[in-house]
Chain A
Amino acid sequence: MEDLARRFVLWAGQQMPAARDLRVEGLARIHGGASRETWRLALEWVEDGQRRRRPLILRRDPVGSLIETDRRVEYAAYRAFHGSDVPVPEPLWLESDPQWLDRPFFVMEQIEGFESSPQVLVTPPCSDHAQALGRRKWSILATIASADPGKLGLTEVLPAVDPGSCWRRELDYWEGVLDEDERTPQPIARALIRRLRRNPPAAPARVAVVHGDFRTGNFLFDRAGTIHAILDWEMAHLGDPLEDLAWSLNPVWEFARDGRSGGLLLREEAIAVWEDARGERADRAALAWWELFACVKGQAIWVSAGREFLEGTNKDPVNAFSAWAVGVSQDRGALRLMGRLAS
Chain B
Amino acid sequence: MSVDVLRFVQTFGGSLITGQAIALETDYQRSSALLLGVLLLMAGEDIDRLVERLVEENRALRELLGAGADLLGAGEVATDLQVLAAEIDPGLRITALQAANDRLRRGLIRLHAAVEDLAGGAARAFEDRLWAELARSVERRRLVMSPF
Binding site for B on A (CB under 8 A): 28-31, 184-185, 187-188, 190-191, 194, 251-255, 257, 316-318, 320-321, 324-326, 328-329, 331-333, 335, 338, 340-343
Q: Using a Cβ–Cβ cut-off of 8 Å, how many residues does chain B contribute to the interface with A?
A: 34
Q: Are A28 and B148 in contact (CB under 8 A)?
A: no
A342-B132, A342-B139 are contacts. A257–B148 as well, Cβ < 8 Å?
A: yes
- Distance of A340 Cα from B23 Cα, bound (Å): 46
Contact residues of B between 21 and 76, Cβ < 8 Å to A: 26-28, 31-32, 35-36, 38-39, 42
Q: Please choose the segment from B3-11, B84-92, B106-114, B118-126 that sits at the chain A interface, where 4 or more of its residues have CB less than 8 A away.
A: B106-114
Residues of B within 8 A of A184 (CB): 98, 102, 105
Q: Are A185 and B147 in contact (CB under 8 A)?
A: no
Q: Which of the listed residues B42, B106, B109, B143 has the most CB atoms from chain A within 10 Å of its own CB? A: B109
Q: 0/1 per residue, B127-145, Cβ < 8 Å to A?
A: 0000110111111011101
Binding site for A on B (CB under 8 A): 26-28, 31-32, 35-36, 38-39, 42, 98, 102, 105-106, 108-109, 112-113, 116, 131-132, 134-139, 141-143, 145-148
**Partner of A187 from B31, B134, B143 at Cβ < 8 Å:** B134
If A187-B137, A328-B146 are given as contacts, then 9 extra A-B residue pairs at C-beta distance below 8 Å, sorted by A number, are A28-B28, A30-B27, A187-B109, A191-B134, A194-B113, A324-B39, A325-B143, A332-B142, A342-B135
- Distance of A255 Cα from B98 Cα, bound (Å): 31
A-B contact pairs, 6 of them (CB 8 A): A184-B98, A191-B134, A255-B147, A325-B147, A328-B143, A342-B132
Q: Are B109 and A190 in contact (CB under 8 A)?
A: yes
Q: Are B146 and A329 in contact (CB under 8 A)?
A: yes
Q: Are A335 and B116 in contact (CB under 8 A)?
A: no
A30-B28, A340-B135, A343-B139 are contacts. A321–B148 as well, Cβ < 8 Å?
A: no
Residues of B within 8 A of A31 (CB): 28, 31
- Distance of A184 Cα from B142 Cα, bound (Å): 17
Residues of A within 8 A of B138 (CB): 188, 328, 331-332, 335
A191-B112, A194-B116 are contacts. A335–B134 as well, Cβ < 8 Å?
A: yes
The residue in chain A whose Cβ has the minimal distance to the Cβ of B139 is A342
Q: Are A28 and B26 in contact (CB under 8 A)?
A: yes
Shortest C-beta distance, B104 to chain A (Å), equals: 9
Residues of B within 8 A of A187 (CB): 105, 108-109, 112, 134, 137
Q: Are A340 and B109 in contact (CB under 8 A)?
A: no
The residue in chain B whose Cβ has the minimal distance to the Cβ of A320 is B39
The residue in chain B whose Cβ has the minimal distance to the Cβ of A343 is B139
Q: Are B42 and A324 in contact (CB under 8 A)?
A: yes
Q: Which of the listed residues A188, A324, A325, A331 has the most CB atoms from chain B within 10 Å of its own CB? A: A325
**Partner of B102 from A185, A253, A321 at Cβ < 8 Å:** A185
Q: Are B147 and A254 in contact (CB under 8 A)?
A: yes
Shortest C-beta distance, B103 to chain A (Å), equals: 9
Q: Which of the listed residues B108, B139, B142, B148 has the most CB atoms from chain A within 10 Å of its own CB? A: B148
A187-B109, A316-B32 are contacts. A28–B27 as well, Cβ < 8 Å?
A: yes
- Distance of A325 Cα from B132 Cα, bound (Å): 21
- Distance of A326 Cα from B141 Cα, bound (Å): 11
